[in-house]
Each structure stands twice: as C-alpha cells, then as structure tokens.
Amino acid sequence: MAKILNFGSLNIDYVYDVPHFVKAGETLAAVSRNIYAGGKGLNQSVALARAGGDVYHAGAVGVDDSKILLDVLSDNKINSDFLRKLECVSGHTIIQVDSNGQNCILLYGGANQKITTEQIDETLKHFDKGDYLVLQNETSNIRYIIDKAYEVGMKICFNVSPFTTELLKLPLEKCAYLIVNELEGAAMVDMPDNTDPYVLITRLCEKYPQTSFVLTLGSRGSILKEVGADTVSCKAFKVDAVDTTAAGDTFLGYLITNIATDMNRALALKCATAASALAVQKKGATPSIPMAKDVLDFIKNTTQEVLVEKL
C-alpha cells in the first residue's frame, strides 16, 4: 500500500452552539461550548486513517497546549514522527454552529504557520515515488512542499481551502488531484459562481490537463474527473445534519484513501459521500468522522441510489 503523508494543520476547535451567527455589534449568549481536536489537516488525517490508509502526519503544534491534538493522532494510529513541537501556541479556531447545523469559523494559524523548508526536506526523505501527499491551505511554505514532493514523484492532492487568489500563483499543475468546491473552481478559471458544474470541471481540466479534479457541490453532491477517465457523479445522501464542521474533510480523507488503494472510482466516490453523510449527523470535528465499517454498513442498508450519470 502506498504511504499517505499529510503535511497539514492541527487546530484546537472551540465550538459554540448558538441560535444564530453573531452579528456586528451584537453580544450573543451561546447555548453551549465544547473543545475538540480539529484543523483541516488533522480532520483529514483521521478520515484517511479510519478509511484504512497508512497515514503519516507532518506539521507543527505548540509545546504547552497540544496534548488534545497528539492524543487524537495516537488514538487513530497516525504516525507523528514528522510532527514538531514549538514554543508557541497551536493553531486554533472559534466555531459557531447555528440551529440549522451550519457553521462559521474564525481561524488563527499559530504553529501551523511555522513549518520550515528544513522540516520539509527532512520529512520528504522518508517518502518515495507513488506515495501520496495531502495538503490544505492552512500551513506555511506550500509552494516549497509542492515543488519538493513533485521532485520525489509523490502524488500531490491539494485541497485548495481556504481559497485565496494567491493560490493561483502556486505550481498547481504539479498536483495529481485538486479538490475544489464550485466557488473555488469558478475563481480558478475566472467564471461566474453559478456556472454549470460540468462546464466548470471541463474548463478546469483544460487549464490543468495533467491534473485530476474533485468538484464538491455541497448538498447536491460531487464530481470526479480523472485524467484520461470518464466523469463520475454522485449525489449527496439525504440525512438530517446537526453539524457540518468536518464533512468536507471526511469526504476528502475517505476519497484519497480509496484512490490510494485503487478502489473502483465510482465506489470510492460513493463511500466518501457516505462517510460525509455520517459525519454531519454528529457534533464535533474528529469525533464525527466515522469508521470504515460504519460507512460500509450505511451503504449496505440505505435504499438511496446516489451514483448518477449527471447531477
């Protein structure tokens, strides 16, 4: 099995249940507060591991506040040999979750923004051609990581979130997979936000002809277009959502592990979609990410048919 290296963020999530998102000038009483281990990187590593991947997490955390993060890596059997402990605070977020299960997030990068080129070089010595690299836009020195991993021959999977126009200056053509939502994808090719998703993914593939794309469409589903392969489309499962915090990270983690293990692509996309559907039914980030057995049971027992020719 190919190794999967996630050079990613780790955040402590402070999650507040609120009746609605706080407005400018408003003081709002929260219904409850919970503290979870999170960050797009950590969430994705947990999903990669729970899907069955051989996962290594590289990055940085604070010395004094990172126990909750390190415990999650250990509990999920994620290799943390390439994680550095620094004399600063770990990355953290303040998350509001409203009565409809939607969220908004305030992010402080902390240790995630202190990844050095020296750490990257040392880490990549332990990986080979054909291994997978997972990235998100929550850490420092992404350009350097992409360039060096490409030299090694790793398959780079970049989740371009949170999106900024600065990302377009990166060597995205070196990525084997780009995972984008419809707003991010539209911005990448300078098209309107409401562009038909199939027109959008075609344009993305034209701009980056050596890159495969995963286009996520929220409650509508997702589209996978690999280089040289037919498009695969999957509707979202209909479930009652209580917290969407880690839904996208769960989806990505399951999909990349499934691809890394060479699963049939339609089944890979369906499993990732099912994992995401299970995640939104529980509160928290990493606590909501399901185990592979639960995902397979969900697929076995559901009557919903989600694989379609076109969304």
pLDDT digits (tens, 9 = 90+) for 19-75: 999 999 999 999 999 888 988 999 999 999 999 999 999 999 999 999 999 999 999
For residue 311, give both structure tokens.
Answer: 């969304």
Please, what is the average pLDDT of the chain? 96
Instruction: Say what the pLDDT of residue 102 is.
Output: 87
Helix (H, G, I), strand (E, B) or coil at 15: strand
Complete DSSP assignment for 58-76: EEEEETTT-HHHHHHHHHT
Cβ atoms of 37 and 119 within 8 Å: the answer is no
Confidence bin at 244 (pLDDT 50/70/90): confident
Task: Name the superfamily (CATH) of residues 3-7+41-59+72-79+110-308.
Answer: Ribokinase (3.40.1190.20)
Residue 114 pLDDT greater than 90, yes or no: yes
Q: What is the pTM of this model?
A: 0.92
Residue 245 pLDDT greater than 90, yes or no: no
For residue 232, give both structure tokens.
Answer: 């695969």
Instruction: Say what the pLDDT of residue 267 is.
Output: 97
| Strands annotated E in the chain | 3-7, 11-17, 32-38, 54-62, 83-86, 91-97, 103-108, 132-136, 155-159, 177-181, 212-216, 221-225, 232-235, 307-308
Instruction: Say what the pLDDT of residue 41 is.
Output: 95
pLDDT digit string, tens, across residues 126-176: 999 999 999 999 999 999 999 999 999 999 999 998 899 899 999 999 999
Asked, as a colleague might, if the bond just before 197 is cis with ω within 30 of 0, I would say no
Tell me the backbone φ, ψ of residue 137, rounded to 5 degrees: -90, 50
Confidence bin at 273 (pLDDT 50/70/90): very high
Residue 8 CA, distance from chain mean position: 10
Mark out the alpha helices in 125-246 (DSSP H runs). 142-152, 182-188, 197-207
Domain range list for the chain: 3-7+41-59+72-79+110-308
Residue type (1 letter), 21:
F
